[in-house]
Structure 1
Amino acid sequence: MKEKVLFEELVKQFEPLILAQIKSLKVAHYFDDYYQIGLIGLWEAYCRFNEEKGAFSAFALKTVRGKMLNQLKKEVRYSSTHGELTQEQEAVLPSENGDHPLETDILKEYLEPLTEKQRKWVVGRIFLQKGEKEIAETEGVTVQAVKSWRKQALKNLRKTVARGLE
């Protein structure tokens, strides 16, 4: 990118990258939203790129994907405070390296025997890595209540795991 390229030309060139990220993150059902997020990520990459630090394509990929993953995390965080995970969110819970370690069926199998409150603890503590105090504040309950959810959730999860080993 030695010469300044118009952003419109850049969009044409990197549209396949945006589309590939939408497909790999399995968010095609919200295509317009994530396409826009991808464009914003591309714009940020365009504005912040430093030629001395490497290739623009790698920087654009990291920026666009990071922007989309941040949005997914926000959606998961929101839904955990306002109810259980949607099927789409369960399918796309990203890990640090972008893989999908938990398949939807496995996640459902473990969450099925839990109550709604126990699910809120699992999602808040394990997936969102919130503390019990933070979960209590979000849910408007005492820390002791959240600890009770944890105790019962772990008990039920142990039973589920034990059944799976039989």
Structure 2
Amino acid sequence: MDKGFTFEEIFKQNEKRIHYHIHKLQIRDSHNEFYVEGLYAMWLAYKNYQPEKGPLATYFNFVIRNRLIDMIRNKTREQKISEAYAQKENTDKYDGNYSSTSIAPLQSPQGIEFSDEEIWNKVKKLLTTNQWKWVEYYIVQGMSQKEIAELEGVSSDAVKSWGREARKKLQASGVLTSSDDLSNQ
């Protein structure tokens, strides 16, 4: 269909519409992403324009504005997803499976054996049921405090408290010295 004008001519006459909508929607466009989207919207409007349905200027305004709003929505959605991912990564990194004084992971529980039942029975008698659960799950099995909390149906803070109290009791009894690996966890 012959429109009588080339897109370049239409663009020169209507370029300010793109800037108008960017300004009207209060968009900061330092990388000209929104301008390019507005230009593409103008080209689509030019290609799809049907004169019997109304003036071209009104159609340009409608298409440009709506494409810019869609782009704002998409960028906002992407930003929220990125922030949620970053927050999850941060939570996973610091969920209690790392030392509070450094970012290095705790010592691996490999090598801890229940071969000396007498020592483990002595440890178990010193601790409450929950403190023993912390030793068994966290130290022996290597579970994170978050995993223990989910398994036991309590908060992560409760599990951390079990660990603090277990370390205190074990240090006070002499089973654990202040230089042992558990003292810095």
Shorter-chain TM-score bucket reads 0.3 to 0.5
Q: Higher helix proportion, which one?
A: 1
In our comparison, the structure showing a higher alpha carbon Rg is 2
Q: TM-score, normalised by structure 2?
A: 0.43
Q: TM-score, normalised by structure 1?
A: 0.47
